[in-house]
Structure 1
Amino acid sequence: MKAEEKIWSALEEVIDPEIGVNIVDLGLVYEVSVEDNGKVSIEMTLTIPQCPLADEIVDNVKRTVSQIPEVKQVDVRLVWEPKWTPAKMNDQAREEIRARQTLVQ
C-alpha cells in the first residue's frame, strides 16, 4: 500500500467527537499530499469555523498520521473554502448519523 493510501486509511480512524463519525466519511479532508522526504500536507475543514474541538481534531489527525512509518512530518491546514456542507458526507456517514438518531429517540 502506498503512503498516501495508508494516510487516508489512518484518517478514517479520526472521529469527529461531536458527530461520532470519521472525518473522511464526513468529507472534512479535502487533500492529502506526500513528499518523497516523508512530509505530509493535509488540507481539511471542520463542520463549522467556530468548532470548539478544532485543536483536538487537528491534534488527532497529526498523531494518527505520524504513526505511519513513512511519515516524518505532518502539516495540517484548516481551510474554510470550499465551505463544508452535509452534501460532502458519504453514504456511510449518513447511515451512521441516522442510526445514532434512531437510538436517541
Structure 2
Amino acid sequence: MEKHPVYNALRAVRDPELGVSIIDLGMIRDIAEDGPAGLVITMLPTSPLCPYLKYLVAEIRQTARPLAPGRTIKVVIDMQHRWTPEYLSTEGQRYFFGGKP
C-alpha cells in the first residue's frame, strides 16, 4: 500500500484538529483496486466521534481523484477497529512524543 501513488498523495491531507498528516496518524489502513473502474480507500478515524469525518472523506476523494481519473473513489470508514498510537508513523511519533512512545 505504501507504494501506491494515492498513498503518497494522501500525505498532504491533514487532520484539521491535530494538524498532522492522516498518513502519519496511521488513519489510512488500505488502498485497494475495485475492478478497473474503482478504488477503495479504507480509513480508520482516530476517534469514532470524530467531528471531521465528512471533511476528511471529501479531502481524501479530492486528493485521490487526479491519480485515478475516471474511476470511482470509495472511502470506507472502519468502525470495527479502534485507532491506537501504535498506528503512528515515525514522524507521527516524533510529533506527539518526541520519538517513540
TM-score band w.r.t. shorter chain: 0.7 to 0.9
Is the CA contact 1:39–1:74 (under 8 Å) kept in the aligned structure 2? yes
TM-score (norm 2): 0.84
**C-alpha distance in 2 between matches for 1:17 and 1:50:** 14
Are 1:46 and 2:55 matched, yes or no? no
Uncovered stretches (5+) of structure 2, i.e. residues with no partner: none
Deviation, 1:34, is 1.7
TM-superposition CA deviations, 1:2-50 (whole Å, max 9, x none): xx62111111111111111111111111110024524100111111111
Query: Which of structure 1's runs of 4+ aligned residues deviate more than 6 A?
Result: none
TM-score (norm 1): 0.81
My pick for the range that moved more, 80-89 or 69-78, is: 69-78
Uncovered stretches (5+) of structure 1, i.e. residues with no partner: 100-105
Matched ranges for 1:45-64 at <5 A: 45-64=44-63
| Count of aligned residue pairs for this structure pair | 96
RMSD: 1.8
Q: Which of 1 and 2 has greater Rg?
A: 1
Identity %: 25
- Aligned match of 2:18: 19
